[in-house]
Chains A and B, each alone.
Chain A
Amino acid sequence: MPEKKQTVPFSGTKEQEEALLQVIAGLKDEPGALMPILQKAQDIYGYLPMEVQKMISDETGIPLEKIYGVVTFYSQFSLSPKGKYRISVCLGTACYVKGSGDIYNALMEKLGIVGGECTPDGKFSLDACRCVGACGLAPVMMVNDEVYGRLTVDDIDDILAKYE
C-alpha cells in the first residue's frame, strides 16, 4: 500500500474554518461543486489535510473516500503543507541528464520524506519541478528563492546546514 501518511500536525485557525464553511455553503448545491470547493480550500489552508477533507465531507455529504480519491488524482492538490524552506529540484531534461535524479533521491533519503511531502517539524518541503531557466548551471535546485547550481550529491549536507 503506498505510504502517504500526514507528517505535519494540523494547525488550522478559526478564521480559516469560517472561510471554508462559507465557501462550501455557497457552492454545495451546485453540480460538480467538489473541484471548486477543493481549490478554494487549498487557497485557504495551503494544502488539503485530513481535517479539511473531513470538514468538506461532513458539510457536503460527499463520502471522504471520494474526496480523497479526487485529491490524490489531481497533481494540483497537495496533502502536505509547504515547509518554511521549500526545496525544488529541477528534473527537466538538462538537469536530469546531469544527475538531478540522484540529488532528488538523496534529498528524500536525508529528509525522510518523499516528493510532495513536508518534514514533521514543518521546516523542509520537497518538490520536483521542470526547468527554472538555469540550464547552464545544471543540475539545479532551489531553496525558496535561492538557486544552487552545478550540484553534486556531496553538496547537499552543506546546503541543508545553512537552513538549520
Chain B
Amino acid sequence: MENVNLKINGLDVSAPAGSTILEAAHIAGIKIPTLCFLKDINEIGACRMCIVEVKGARNLVAACVHPINEGMEVRTNTPQLIEARKRTLELILSDHDKKCLSCVRSGNCELQALCQELGVADENYFSGEMNRYEPDTSAAHMVRDNNKCILCRRCSAVCEKSQAVGVIGPNQRGFATFIGSPFEMGLGETSCVSCGQCIAACPTGALYEKDFLDDVLAAIEDPEKHVVVQPAPSVRAALGEEFGYPMGTDVEGKMAAALRRIGFDKVFDTDYSADLTIMEEANEFIERVQNGGVLPMMTSCSPGWVKYCEHYFPDLLDNLSSCKSPQQMFGAVTKTYYAEKMGIDPKDIVCVSVMPCTAKKFEIGRDDQDAAGVPDVDISITTRELARLIRKVGIDFQSLPDEGFDDPLGESTGAGVIFGATGGVMEAALRTAVETLTGEELKSVEFTEVRGTDGIKEATYHVADMDVKVAVASGLANAKQILEKVRSGEADYHFIEIMCCPGGCVNGGGQPQVHADVRNFTDVRAVRAKVLYDNDAAKPLRKSHDNPSIKKLYEEYLGKPGSEKAHHVLHTRYVKRSIN
C-alpha cells in the first residue's frame, strides 16, 4: 500500500495511506490517549481525549478517526492539549461516582489511569448536580452500575456490532442520557445472552460480573463439604496477565498450585470434560450423518451462543448438539461417577468452575443440568474472580511452584486444551470423528484450516468417501451470517462450530480486561490462543479418545458414547426464547 509522509511532534513519520493520526502516531512510538475508541467497534470520536493540533485546521481534531494527509503537521502533546484533555476528564468526573477505593476496577481502570497520566489534581473541580441510578442486578451474570458509567458507548457498540444482540444503548438526551435497555427493562428481562463482552469493553467499574467469592470461601470452610474445582482451558492462557506476566504466558502449573493452596479438596481440570464432550459430540455427529439426523450439527459448548440461538434462531434448535458443555459435563460426572467412586453423597459435593466466561453463571442455573438431582455445577467464577481470590487469600502467585492436576478428573489431551480457541472444538472433534469413521490413525492431528482468528472459516475434508463440509464462526455477528445461510438453505455444511465471543473463550467476557490502548494494537485473541496450541503440541496425547481416564469412565460407568446412561448424564435440552 502507498505510504503518506507527515510530521508528528516534529518527527518525520511514514504511514500507510488511509491510516488515522492515532495509527500513524503509534507507528512512530507516540502515544495519544484515548477513551471511547475501540478499533473496528467504536470509532465515534466522541470523548475528545485524543484531540491533537493539526497545522491549518480550524479546530482540534480527534486523532482516532481523523485520516492522515501528505505533508500534514501534527502536534500531540502541547501544554494546551494536555490542559484541554485534563479539562475533559474533570468534566467526566463531575458526573462520575468516585468511590474508587471500593471499586472493582480500582488499579485497573482506564479513567483512573488517564487521570493519573494527565495529572488531574482535583476530582471535584467541577462539582454540581449528578445523576443517581439504581444498579441493575436483574441478570444472572452481571451488574450494571450507571453511576460509574462515562457514556463512552464501548459496551453498546460491542453488544450490537460484535455480538448482533444490541440490548443496551444510550437512552434519553443530554444530561439525562444513560445506557440502558428498552423501556427501562432490566438486563435480565432482555434477550441479553450473558456473554460479558460489554464488561470486557468497559473502561471503568460500571460493568462487572456478579462476584461469588464469599460462597466459594464459605464452602471451603465447611467441613461437611467436599469442594472440587475445574478451571477451563482458557483460564491458564490469561490468568498470568493479572499477576504481571506478559500476555501469552501459560500459567497452568501455577494456577493448579494456587487452587490447591486456596483449599479446594480436589483440583481437577475442565480439559478432562472437554475430552469427554468430544467423545459424545463426535459420536452424535457420526450418528446424525449415518442415520439421516438433522444437519448441519452445531456445537453447544458456548452458553452465550446457545442462549443466542434460543432467542434469535429458535427454528434451528434441533441443529444444536444435545451435548452439555464441558463445564456441565464435568459437574455431572463429578456428582455421579466420582461421587459413587468416592462414596460421597452428591449433595455434599460443591463443584466450582473457573471460567473465562460470564454466561457460565447463567448456564449453571439452566433447567436439565442436574444429572444427580442436584445442580451439576454450584458456583461459576470468572478468571478475574480467581485472580481476586488468589490475592484475597494472600497467595504470592509468582513464587508458586508448577503443580499438576489431581486424578482422575484432571487428565486431558491436547484436544481438550484447544477448546478455548475458535476452531479448537472443531479440530478436536475432527481428530476423533475422522479416526472413528476411517478406522485409521491420522497422519497429522493438526487441522490448520480451522485455526486462526478469522471470524468465519470454512473447510471441506474428504473422510471415508464423503466430503465433510465444516464451518467455524466466532463472535455472534459472524455466527449470524452463517446461520442466515443455514436458515435459507444456501449453505450445505455438515458441522458448524460456533463460539459466542470473538476469537473464542480465550477472549471471553470473564477474562482479564485489556485496556483499549493495548487492545487496539494487539490481537489479544491470537496471543492467548497460541498458549493453547503450544500446550496441545507439547502433550503426549492429542486425541480425546486416547485419554486413559476418559476410556476408564466409559468402561466403568457410561458404557459407550451415546449410551442411555451417557444421555442421562451428559446431554440436555433447549428452550425457545423471545427477542426483547
A72 touches B165 (CB 8 A): no
Question: Is residue B476 within 8 Å, beta carbon to beta carbon, of the partner chain?
Answer: no
Contact of A65 among B136, B172, B182 (CB under 8 A): B182
B173 touches A72 (CB 8 A): yes
Cα of A6 to Cα of B160 in the assembled complex, Å: 26
B165 touches A68 (CB 8 A): no
Question: Is residue A31 within 8 Å, beta carbon to beta carbon, of the partner chain?
Answer: no
For the complex formed, measure the closest distance between the CB of A64 and the CB atoms of chain B, giving whole angstroms.
4
Cα of A51 to Cα of B317 in the assembled complex, Å: 27
For the complex formed, measure the closest distance between the CB of A79 and the CB atoms of chain B, giving whole angstroms.
8
For the complex formed, measure the closest distance between the CB of A114 and the CB atoms of chain B, giving whole angstroms.
12
What string of 1s and 0s marks CB contacts (under 8 Å) between B133-152 and chain A? 11010000000001000000
A2 touches B178 (CB 8 A): yes
Q: Max chain B CB contacts within 10 Å: which of A2, A65, A73, A75?
A: A65
A53: chain B residues within 8 A (beta carbon): 182
What string of 1s and 0s marks CB contacts (under 8 Å) between A1-37 and chain B? 1111110000000000000000000000000000000
- Knowing A2-B176, A63-B165, A63-B167, the reply to whether A68 touches B183 (Cβ < 8 A) is yes
Question: Is residue A113 within 8 Å, beta carbon to beta carbon, of the partner chain?
Answer: no
Question: Is residue B168 within 8 Å, beta carbon to beta carbon, of the partner chain?
Answer: yes
For the complex formed, measure the closest distance between the CB of B249 and the CB atoms of chain A, giving whole angstroms.
38
A67 touches B184 (CB 8 A): no
Contact of B171 among A6, A63, A72 (CB under 8 A): A72
A67 touches B134 (CB 8 A): no
Cα of A57 to Cα of B166 in the assembled complex, Å: 12
Residues of B145-197 at the interface with A, using a CB-CB cut-off of 8 Å, are 146, 156, 160, 165-173, 176, 178, 180-184, 190
Question: Is residue A162 within 8 Å, beta carbon to beta carbon, of the partner chain?
Answer: no
Cα of A123 to Cα of B219 in the assembled complex, Å: 58
Question: Is residue B580 within 8 Å, beta carbon to beta carbon, of the partner chain?
Answer: yes
Question: Is residue A50 within 8 Å, beta carbon to beta carbon, of the partner chain?
Answer: yes
Q: Which residue of B lies closest to A79 (CB)?
A: B183
For the complex formed, measure the closest distance between the CB of A53 and the CB atoms of chain B, giving whole angstroms.
7
Q: A residues near B, CB below 8 A? A: 1-6, 50, 53, 57-58, 63-69, 72-75
Q: B residues near A, CB below 8 A? A: 133-134, 136, 146, 156, 160, 165-173, 176, 178, 180-184, 190, 579-580
- List 28 A-B pairs, Cβ < 8 Å: A1-B133, A1-B136, A1-B146, A1-B184, A2-B178, A5-B183, A5-B184, A50-B182, A53-B182, A57-B579, A58-B579, A64-B167, A64-B579, A64-B580, A65-B156, A65-B167, A65-B181, A65-B182, A66-B160, A66-B166, A66-B169, A68-B182, A68-B183, A69-B171, A73-B170, A73-B171, A73-B172, A75-B173
